[in-house]
Every structure is written in structure tokens, then in C-alpha cells.
Chain A
Amino acid sequence: MEHRVAVTGIGVISIYGDSPSMLFAALCDGHTGIHPVGSMPRNDCACHLSGQLTDFQPEKYLKGRPLRPLDRVSQLASSACGLALENSGWDAEDRSSVDLALMVGTMFAGMHTIGDFDRTAIVSGPASVSPMAFANTVISAAAGQTAIWHNMRGANSTLAMGSISGIAAVGHAADSIRRGTSEAALAGGVDEFSIESFCGFDRAGLLCKNSTEPERPIPFDQHRNGFALGEGAGFLALEELAYAGERGSTVLAEIKGYATAFDYSQGKDRELAVRTLARTMQAALERSGKTIHDIDFVSASANGSVPRDCYELMALASVFAERARDLPVTAIKCGIGEALAASGPLQLAVAIDILKTGRLPGIIGLAELPPSCPLQGIQAETRDIRARNGLINGVGLDGNCCSLVIGLPD
């Protein structure tokens, strides 16, 4: 028998603040979080915008023990996980009796920590590196540090699927609950803004750039010219639905199904890219027992990328067919930037508020859809919709795609 999967808690660290309601309110009100990039060792990057966090204070969330062993990525993950645990009522006593599983999605993990460690070894010799820093150079460090901080003794996994890692981690953890492998898990994603990722993406020509037109990291906009690099962390507490009932947890939403697939052309073959994304959405719908008519809104992965936003538009048009024209679509990266593995969990946090309030945040800054865009439900204005089920998309930079259906419990 398949179990059902309830979301019973959310924890977010985002450019808009540390609660889903702050994130949701800012998006609904049309405030963008994207701002001029802070001080960088080099200023010859073409992009000058980012969604870098401006006031993350880990000591607000991680109290009573020294923070020094945790690098910033681990602090982001541990903070968001702590908020999710608190929100779901998993107190320390519960955690000593149940082996909570943890699944962390991440694209770059502690790349900056790893680079720093290596540079210290180059400059000052390998004997001068810190053993404490070495522990943070393993890609799974954030998961390990979080488990230690919150005493989570269940399966401790890290999932790397590029920028869709976070939403895929939620899907994967939900699936293990559905199949009875675990009763409860924390799943989500984390990535940090670093000079390595910012300059790397900039050199690859993927960030919004100020060439002939102003930088426009606006999802689906006709004049978009790349994404703004963001950062953050988002984690969801997941429980088997009946178990959540026994525990007296508040059920915020139900994860109904998900799917991932890979475009082996890695975005180079437009037709294959669109077909793969369409197939992913269809598989997620099938596994959820839903049709296109059950989906009340889509939270798109679109981030301002010139080719990928277009692929997503075409795939949505093909999957939603006659429903595509009026399908309500939102794209939160207009406000938070491309937060990589944190993006998907933050999209889920927003989706839960859409389900709760029936309000769909508009796409901030959207001025003009591409000509002949078949989806007229992509709008700049926040509006009220009927919201019982939503489809959440993740479109990776590397060909990986993920779709997940979240809704009110059936």
C-alpha cells in the first residue's frame, strides 16, 4: 500500500526574510529582492545584480553552541532545518525517539570553503590547513553538520542534481515515505552565493548582463537577458499522513507526486529539451493521479534565462494544451533570483501560501511576454485564483528536470 505524504513544517532563509509569510507577502506586493551585487574582489563581471542575502544572522537560529565548526552553507542549512523542525513541532524529545531522515539537495555545497581550503594549502603549504575546515570540504558537510546540530539520526543523504537538487530532494524524500522506508523526514535545499559561482556563471554568459539593454533577470519577459544569482535555504518537514494525524501535526499540504528526467542534449537540442520537460510534467501528473484540469496554478522554474524560459513555455503549452491559455503561472525567481538548490523548496513554501490564501503572486518586472506566447496567465499582477493543486517545476542548467504536484489534502 502506498502511504500519503504530508508537509507539516517549513523553514526558509530567503532574501525576504526567515519566514514563508515574509517571502509570500513581498512577492505578492511586488517587491523585488534583487539588488546591486556587493563588494567583489573583481569588478570586471558583466553582471551587477544578485539576490545575495543581506542580513543572514546564524546566531539567531543556532543557539547555545559555538558556530565556528559550521561553514556558511552548513549554517544556512542548519538554520532553515531548525525553523522547519520548530514549525512542525518536532521538538528535541520527539527527535530522540524517532530517527528523522534528512535529505539535503545542493548544487555547489561548500564550493567556497573548498576553494579557500585549497588556496590556503597552495599559499601556506598543506600543513597549514585547518582540520576543522577539511570536514567542511566534503560535499555532504551541510547534511552532516545539520544532523549533528539537531540530533537527526536517520538516513542522512545529500542529493546533487544541479539547480533542481532541492526540489528533487523533497520529491525523493516524499517517495521514501510513500513507500514506507521512513515515517518522517526533513528535505530541501541549500546553496550560497560565492565569488566562485558568481564569476563562474558570469564567465559562462549565463547571468543577466548589461550590454545594450539594462540587466533584466525577469522570467518569461521578452527582453530577459539571463538570471540573477541568488542564495538561501528551504526545508520542509514531511510525514506520513496518518502518522502526522497521530502526532497531532498541522498538515499544511500534501505532496502528491513527482518525477525527474534528463535531457541528454543538456539544453543544446531545443526539441529534446522541451520534450523532456513535458514528459517530466506528465509523469508527475500521472504519479499524482491528476490531470491538467486538476492543476490550478504552476510555479515555473523560469529565471530570465533566454533559452530555458522559452523551453518551459513551450513545454507548458504542450502539456496543458487547451488549458494553457488561461493557466495561472507564477515565477518567484523574479524576486529571489536563481537560488539554485534553494529555489525549489522556496517555490514550495510559496505554493503552500498560494494554497492557503488563493492569492497568486505576479511576476515582478514582467513588462512584455514574447510575441505569440500561448500562455496569457503569465502576468505581472498578483491576483486571486482557485487553488487546490499546484505544479512546481525545476529546469536544470545541465539537462535535469523535475516536476512536483503539491496540493491541499484530497
Chain B
Amino acid sequence: MVTSIGTGKDVFWRNLLAGCCGISRVEAFSTEQFPVHCGAEVKDFAADAYLHRLQTREVGRASQLAIAAARLALQDAAISIAEMDLEQVGIAVGTTSGEPGQIESVDDLYVEERFGQISPSFIEMYPCSVLAAHIAAELELGGEVLTIPTACAAGNYAIAHASDVLRAGRAKIMLAGGADSFSRITYAGFSRLGAISPELCRPFDRGRKGMIPGEGSAMLVLERLSDARRRGARVYAEIAGYGLSCDAHHMTAAHPQGEGAARAMEIALRASGTLPEDVDYISAHGTGTPTNDRLETIAIKRVFNDHAYRVPISSIKSMLGHSMGAASAIEATACVLAITDGYVPGTINLENQDPECDLDFVPNQARHHKVDIAMNNAYAFGGNNSSIVFKRCEA
């Protein structure tokens, strides 16, 4: 994984448990015309270290982040590409914006009346499907190569679809996750909605002022359990089931009673054969906007009743900002690491908890806590809701 608090699973997890904050002043573009100036960018990312077959200039930043995360994931899974049947390896990448930098360059030309100078490579570098295609081209993979652009829930969607591909026997190995690069289009949009916090990100806090746009990528290596056992792989966790739903209510506002979010959690519990009281940890969508955090609390209570007050819930967006399509893939990684490591990350900047958000949000400090079953929640524009249940895999 490549995140604003570090690259590689171990650095990420150490910094996440330490409560490190990846939020700083935006460097990708000038924020002079904006009322806000913070972002959660990945600084000092050196794409050349990860691109061997493709050239850095041939692929946009989101692809570069995704390729880096994919290489790191394969390395962590101790999979050697040379030994794989490459036709049996596929990819599913979630994203919100694909490669926005490409259309931004075209827009710059357009307003300067130099539209005729569009780069001949624009049309090949822009469609969001390049995220999965570029990973496949870099790693020479020949299986199913899917990009799932379902906005801020995209990482979860990609993991869910990849698990389907494996269950249907259409691949031996799936790389699944999400990627997004820092984008002025996204920043302008959220800024216009008044959704960006002028300072830190404080999910579930009474003084929360919004989300912080971010970027990054996380990729997970998924295999059928029997295959993983056979090759003696380290198994972090099992994808026990998922639930997807749509509010069909409003493009940018969630359902006022958290109907769709609750339904996704219920479907995920049912699909995974899990009772609500058996869930040991919930990774919240927790963007830090006043509405999201309040409605998410309502939805969790609807599904978990009394257990809602006992289960630790955290928003790691307090540290990473909202890395868009990558966010739920990064959060999925946090869920599986919580299972293997016995710690749950905290929600930082939680000083005065909102009385309307009265659950255990693991304030400020990571906590030693045994997790056998974790649920990862993510929501998106269009009223898209997603929940995935991860379970410990006994040896």
C-alpha cells in the first residue's frame, strides 16, 4: 500500500497504530482560490522504483500508485510472478476519478484555446479502466482485468467483485483494491459543497468540520483458501461475505435514516453467516462530515442494537483523510491487520465526542483488542453502500 502515512504494510500499520496524521498543506496545485488548504497527499512517491516494464511518463499518477501497491502486495504475499500462470491472475481496482490529471491537462489546453494540441496519448491514458490495465500490462497478467469506478465505496466493491471471480473459478489469484490520485476537480467539488475541513479531520467529534481529500492505493492479494494453504501462504483473513445496496434516494446526500447503509450491513452479515453480536470491530466510513458521521451512527445502531455500544468502531480517515476510491481498500487492509495483530486503530482528533455519535469510536489511542470478525463499511455518491465481513482463518 501507498498512503499519506507511509508506504508498505508494516510502515502503514505502525504509523496507523501510533496515530500519525497524513494531513498537510496541499502541494499538488495552488489552493490560493480556495477557502481551505489541507489535503492528505502521498509525499515523496518515487514511481520509478515500481515501474519496470511501463515508462513513468506513459501512465498517470493513480496508475503509478496502483502499480506500486500491487507490487508491494505480491511481495508481501511471497508470490513470484515468474512462477504464476499469468492467464489465471486477474485484477479489480476501485477508483473515484481514474486519471483526473489527464483531463485536467486537456482542460488547461482548452481554456488556452490550444485544444488542437491534445496529446495523442490522452485517449489511451485517461479512461479509468487504465488503472487495472496498467497493472496488468506492467506485471504481464492475462486474467480478468476490471476497474470498478463506484466512487468512494470503490475499494470495497472491487474486493467484493474479485471475491466473486475467485468463487466462480474464473481466476486463481486476484489483486483487488483501490487507487486515486489527488485531484483539483475533486477538491473543487468538495470545497464547493462546503465539505472540506479547514483544519484537521475529526470524525464523530462535536466540532467536526468536514472531510479532507486524500490519495493513495492499497491492493490485496486474494486466493481461494485451499490454494493459499497448498502453497503455504500466510493467510491474513477470509472474506466471509459482502453486502451492496443503493439508497436510490439522492446523488450526494445519504438516506436520512441510514436505510441503505443498514441494508448493506445486514446483507453482509447474512451472506457471511455472522450474527451482529459476533462482530469485534467495525471500520467506519467516518468521513468527518457532520451528516455522514451522524447517519452512520444511526445505521450501525439499527443493525447492531445493544452490541452497537460495545463493538469498537474507528475512522482511520481521521489520519489518512479520504483517499476516495482507495479509502475502503486501505480500510480493508486495516481490518485484516486488526485480525492478525490484535490491535484496533483509534479515531484521532476526537476530543469532544458528539452526543449524537455516542458509540465507542476508540478515541485517539489504538487499542489492544482481539478481533476475529471485522466489518468494513464504505459509502459513496449515488447512494452506494457497501459492507464486507472479514473473518480470522484458523490454521
Residues on A lying within 8 angstroms of B by beta carbon are 41-42, 44, 69, 99, 102, 107-109, 111, 114-115, 117-119, 121-123, 125-127, 129-131, 134-141, 143-145, 147-148, 150-162, 165, 168, 172, 175-176, 178-179, 181, 195-197, 199-201, 203-206, 259-266, 276, 279, 397-400
CA distance A201 to B127 in the complex (A): 12
Given contacts A140-B150, A160-B149, A176-B164, 13 further A-B contacts (CB under 8 A): A118-B188, A119-B111, A121-B184, A140-B154, A140-B382, A150-B248, A156-B383, A175-B164, A196-B106, A200-B123, A206-B123, A262-B145, A399-B145
A397 contacts across to B, CB distance below 8 A = 124
Query: With A175-B168, A262-B142 known to touch, is A200 a contact of B122 (CB < 8 Å)?
Result: yes
Interface hit among B93-101, B222-230, B231-239: B93-101
* 28 contacts across the A-B interface (CB closer than 8 A): A99-B263, A107-B129, A108-B127, A118-B184, A131-B192, A135-B381, A136-B251, A144-B381, A147-B248, A147-B382, A148-B248, A152-B246, A156-B244, A156-B246, A156-B384, A157-B244, A159-B148, A162-B127, A176-B164, A200-B122, A201-B123, A260-B144, A262-B136, A262-B142, A264-B142, A266-B133, A398-B124, A399-B136
B64 part of interface (Cβ distance < 8 Å): no
B137 engages A264 (CB within 8 Å): yes
Smallest beta-carbon distance B300→chain A, Å: 20
Query: With A122-B108, A127-B192, A266-B133 known to touch, is A200 a contact of B87 (CB < 8 Å)?
Result: no
Contact of B151 among A115, A127, A139 (CB under 8 A): A139
How many pairs of residues, A versus B, come closer than 8 Å at their CB atoms? 247
CA distance A108 to B99 in the complex (A): 11
Smallest beta-carbon distance B225→chain A, Å: 17
A125 contacts across to B, CB distance below 8 A = 33
B248 engages A153 (CB within 8 Å): yes
Smallest beta-carbon distance A315→chain B, Å: 14
B95 contacts across to A, CB distance below 8 A = 139
Chain B 136-158 against A: per-residue CB contact (8 Å), 1 yes, 0 no? 11011111111111110010010
B260 part of interface (Cβ distance < 8 Å): yes
CA distance A175 to B104 in the complex (A): 37
CA distance A130 to B384 in the complex (A): 22
B193 engages A134 (CB within 8 Å): yes
B137 engages A266 (CB within 8 Å): yes
CA distance A264 to B133 in the complex (A): 8
Smallest beta-carbon distance A273→chain B, Å: 11
Smallest beta-carbon distance B100→chain A, Å: 8
B119 part of interface (Cβ distance < 8 Å): yes
Closest to B325 in A: A139
CA distance A136 to B167 in the complex (A): 33
Contact of B382 among A143, A161, A261, A398 (CB under 8 A): A143
B362 part of interface (Cβ distance < 8 Å): no
Closest to B108 in A: A122
B144 engages A138 (CB within 8 Å): no
B189 engages A129 (CB within 8 Å): yes
A107 engages B107 (CB within 8 Å): no
B247 contacts across to A, CB distance below 8 A = 153
CA distance A131 to B34 in the complex (A): 15
A137 engages B142 (CB within 8 Å): no
Closest to B138 in A: A264
B246 engages A122 (CB within 8 Å): no
Residue among A102, A122, A155, A279 with the highest chain B CB neighbour number at 10 A: A155
CA distance A67 to B393 in the complex (A): 50
Which 10 interchain pairs have the tightest Cβ spacing? A144-B382, A134-B189, A200-B123, A139-B149, A155-B244, A156-B246, A135-B251, A126-B188, A262-B145, A160-B129
A204 contacts across to B, CB distance below 8 A = 120-124
B14 part of interface (Cβ distance < 8 Å): no
A114 contacts across to B, CB distance below 8 A = 100, 103, 185
A261 engages B144 (CB within 8 Å): yes
Closest to A116 in B: B107
B249 contacts across to A, CB distance below 8 A = 148
Contact of B251 among A141, A175, A200 (CB under 8 A): A141
B150 contacts across to A, CB distance below 8 A = 140, 143, 156-158
B339 part of interface (Cβ distance < 8 Å): no
A156 contacts across to B, CB distance below 8 A = 150, 244-246, 382-384
Smallest beta-carbon distance A314→chain B, Å: 18
B185 contacts across to A, CB distance below 8 A = 114, 117-118, 121, 137
B122 contacts across to A, CB distance below 8 A = 200, 203-204
A158 engages B148 (CB within 8 Å): yes
Contact of A162 among B107, B133, B381 (CB under 8 A): B133
Smallest beta-carbon distance A94→chain B, Å: 14
Closest to B250 in A: A148
